[in-house]
Structure 1
Amino acid sequence: MDYQFIRNDRAEPAAIFEMGAETLGLWFSEELGRDRQKIHHLLDVIQQLEHKNIEQYALQGREFNMDLTRDEIEVYAAITRDEGEIDIPEDTELYDQESICGCGLEDFKEVLLSWQEFVGGM
């Protein structure tokens, strides 16, 4: 998974991920940001998953939610999982490639540790 961390025009940390994983970049940039407490909490959750103390974990955010399991994570825009009924024509397909993505738990942990290092140096 290709990604890079930058400082945006307001000197805030921002993550840019390859096509197909843009949602993960938005999650790092908008939901996680510099919140070191949240970073530590997620690393603790990952450790619990790795040691099989828990099977899954759900993290709700303002714009994006995250589901973590022992094998993978999935980040999705909160609106894509809205349980309310939407009145759309029967054969309509919704495009959600830019509002949902996932990756392996090990890969996510590696990116999260890199993010922790990046925002720690700011």
Structure 2
Amino acid sequence: MEYEFLRDVTGQVIVKFSMGHEAIGHWLNDEVKGDLARVADVERQLHSLSGSLRQWQHIGHEFTLLIDAEEVMVRANGMSVECDALEEGLSYYDEESLSLCGSDDFLLMLSRYRQFIQTGG
């Protein structure tokens, strides 16, 4: 999973992720928006799930974050499109709407995100 932290002309943090992990970047850009309290809450939840079979979910405005002890899933809330409704030969494009990654990689990324924000990038 590759990513890059940037600032736009207004100083807002923008995150870009490699193909297959774009939804994580969209979640950070659209749901987190530099809110370090939310980052800390997600980190606490991930640590509390370590070694358990429990899951935790946060449904945001645009994306849902679903985590367990080993994996993180970010899914666009609008992904409930019925594929049966599409014409024959067409498929629903959802590459930027769903991303999975390991919990350890996700925690490392959140740590780097926090550091980027706190140091001014």
The answer to whether TM tops 0.5 is yes
Aligned residue number for residue 15 of structure 2: 15
Give the superposition deviation at 1:107: 0.4
Contact 2:65 2:74 in 1 (8 A): yes
Give the superposition deviation at 1:88: 3.7
The runs of at least 4 consecutive aligned structure 1 residues that moved more than 6 Å come to none
Q: Taking structure 1 as the reference length, what is the TM-score of the superposition?
A: 0.86
Matches within 5 A, 1:58-77: 58-77=57-76
Give the superposition deviation at 1:16: 0.8
* % identity of equivalent residues: 26
* One-letter amino acid of the structure 1 residue matched with residue 117 of structure 2: V
Residues matched between the structures, number = 120
Q: Taking structure 2 as the reference length, what is the TM-score of the superposition?
A: 0.87
Give the CA RMSD over aligned residues: 2.0
In the TM superposition, what whole-angstrom CA distance separates every residue of 1:33-53 from its partner, at most 9, and x where no partner exists? 21121111111101111143x
In 2: Cα distance, 1:21 partner to 1:58 partner = 18
SS of alignment partner, residue 81 of structure 1: coil
Question: Which consecutive unaligned segments of at least 5 residues does structure 1 have?
Answer: none
Give the superposition deviation at 1:110: 0.5
* One-letter amino acid of the structure 2 residue matched with residue 100 of structure 1: L
Contact 2:6 2:13 in 1 (8 A): yes
